[in-house]
Amino acid sequence: MKRSIVFCVFAAFGGWLFGYDIGYISGCLIMPDFIHQMQGAQATAITSQNQSIITSLLSAGTFFGAIFQAFTSDRLGRKGSILFWSVIFTIGVIVQVTTFSLGQLTAGRFVAGLGVGALSAIVPLYIGEAAPKKLRGSLLVLYQVQIISGLFLAYIVNLGTHHISNSASWRIPIGLQLVWGCVLMGGSLLLPESPRYLLGKGQEKRAIRAIAMLNDCGEDDKLTEEVMTELSYAVKVENEGGQAGWLECFSTRSRMWKRTLNGCMVQFLQQLNGQNFYYYYGPVFFEAAGTGLDAYSIQAILGGISLVMVLPAMWTIEHVGRRKSLLIGSLGQAVCAIIAALVGHFYTDVDGVSASKRQLGGNVMIAFAVFHVSLYSMFWGPTPWVLMGETFPLRVRSKCIALAAATNWLWNFLLSYFSPLIADDIGPLILLVFCGCLVFAFVYVFFMIPETRGISLEEVDELYRTKVPAWRSNSWVPSAHENHAIDKLEGNDRPRPSESTAVNNQVPEKKVTEQHVENAPVNQNIE
């Protein structure tokens, strides 16, 4: 199990690329040499239109990367895909760091975005298949931890280089990405392939080696043999259905339509939280608000707070749960958004406001921005990635994750393009839009998102088939626990807290009419 944790931690480094790429560009937008290089020698600021182009082209690339990875994940494998898209990302960085024009910069950001988007789907896919189930949520949270770590480092680098009077002020932050790309490329060669993927491709010998590597045991170990037998059985029955197409993501089989909808919706709503508005345009926005702090300092503070607050999510994701994390985060961020919007509008964005009142309003906005990104980092930042990594069956997992990740990046693109244009017209009141989205997010999660902590990837299938209402899913108990080898593999030495009565035979036996083959134990006859 220790080795599986190490491998998952390293795979999550793909999130570092994601976070750093988001973070560095916001500081570059107000660096004098960057402005002169992209806007003209006499320019004093990047226009709103060019801000939108520069920031959104990365998101456009990530959308297509998230879709394309579905093909490479099934053909090159999870490990091979991580390597392939790390190379694509590195090529995009080289184009950016050598840039002398707006066109070259945006082209480089698009190419790098292909890699970032693909990795944003592959990493949760790999971790979801390789992680022990009692640690799966915490290890998937590591992806968000890496995102915030990369984001924070980008802010610190910008803070340290923005005083440089030449192009090194922005080429250094961009060029550091070459290091991250090379680290991920080199390390991906050491990762074991997902045993579930290998078995799906009929590569049994490689699957045995992968199982042994992930569990610190020998290939001839009894545990390896038992896990191999049970996973082989589940995958074999899966494959009897023939090759899965994209339309199966929306079929009624195992309620795939609802699972795909949920995966896409939580990614959509994650983008509508409003946090990326602060991440992308924080320096520009707070500088215009007339706050007493340097814009780079404000962003470094936001990044540091985000990093500190994402760490507890590794505990809350397994103890508070997926549903409650999203519900708490929705309400808390909605309150922060409405206060920041109203204070920002009446204290910083209307005519006749005194300098002292403007500064007070700016400070209040910063305070609630800190609260907002703190709640996001603990709840809505990591939880959608966790759900994306554990909601879908092996048969269509790469395709469903591709659709969910692409949804995230589509809305990331739309928001990064239109936010500065909208903010130019209505200022801080743009946060009211995010407040409304957060209220909707609370309602959607309550009625649609079931709790999936503490159950295996195969048991998630049964959860959806039994059609348990989402608000009752926390007390749901899987119908069978015969897969002892998989329990050992995934570290499930004790039942979920809600299962204790079931284990003691204090609840009536329930009949499951459509238990999916992925959850079928070895000794069960399928008719």
pLDDT digit string, tens, across residues 231-271: 777 677 666 655 678 888 898 877 889 999 999 999 999 98
User: Tokens at residue 43, please?
Assistant: 């320019």
* pLDDT value of residue 506: 43
- The predicted model gives 307-315 an average pLDDT of 90
* pLDDT value of residue 303: 82
* pLDDT value of residue 442: 97
Is the domain spanning 1-191+243-461 CATH 1.20.1250.20? The answer is yes
* pLDDT value of residue 419: 74
15-19, 263-267, 414-418, 464-468, range with the lowest pLDDT: 414-418
Q: Above 70 in pLDDT, residue 368?
A: yes
Contact 344, 431 (CB under 8 A): yes
Question: What residue segments make up the domains of the chain, in order of their start?
Answer: 1-191+243-461
- The predicted model gives 349-363 an average pLDDT of 79
pLDDT digits (tens, 9 = 90+) for 175-226: 999 988 888 888 888 888 888 888 878 888 888 888 788 777 777 777 778 7
**pLDDT band, residue 505 (cuts 50/70/90):** very low
Contact 265, 384 (CB under 8 A): no
More confident residue, 331 or 70: 331
User: Tokens at residue 231, please?
Assistant: 């996973």
DSSP string, 283-346: HHHHHHTT-SS-HHHHHHHHHHHHHHHHTTHHHHHHHT-HHHHHHHHHHHHHHHHHHHHHHHHH
Q: Above pLDDT 90, what percent of the chain?
A: 23
Q: Above 80 in pLDDT, residue 2?
A: no
Q: Above 60 in pLDDT, residue 289?
A: no
**pLDDT band, residue 101 (cuts 50/70/90):** confident
In 162-294, where does DSSP find H-type helix? 168-175, 177-188, 195-200, 204-214, 222-239, 256-271, 275-288
More confident residue, 497 or 47: 47
Average pLDDT, the chain: 80
- The predicted model gives 352-367 an average pLDDT of 80
Q: Which of 442, 471, 472, 458 is nearest to 515 (CA)?
A: 458
3-state secondary structure 205-226: HHHHHHHHHHCCCCCCCHHHHH
More confident residue, 106 or 202: 106
Q: Give the span between the Cα atoms of 405 and 117, in whole angstroms.
A: 7
* pLDDT value of residue 497: 42
* pLDDT value of residue 184: 86
* pLDDT value of residue 298: 75
Q: Give the span between the Cα atoms of 460 and 451, in whole angstroms.
A: 9
Max mean pLDDT among 96-105, 141-150, 320-329 falls in 320-329
* pLDDT value of residue 87: 93
H/E stretch holding 470 = none
Q: Above 70 in pLDDT, residue 499?
A: no
Placement of tokens 């990591």 in the chain: 382
* pLDDT value of residue 75: 87
Q: Give the span between the Cα atoms of 440 and 157, in whole angstroms.
A: 37
Q: Above 80 in pLDDT, residue 519?
A: no
Q: Above 80 in pLDDT, residue 480?
A: no
Q: Above pLDDT 70, what percent of the chain?
A: 84
User: Tokens at residue 26, please?
Assistant: 């916001």
Q: Which of 503, 498, 506 is nearest to 468 (CA)?
A: 498
- The predicted model gives 1-10 an average pLDDT of 71
**pLDDT band, residue 322 (cuts 50/70/90):** very high
95-99, 221-225, 434-438, range with the lowest pLDDT: 221-225
**pLDDT band, residue 511 (cuts 50/70/90):** very low
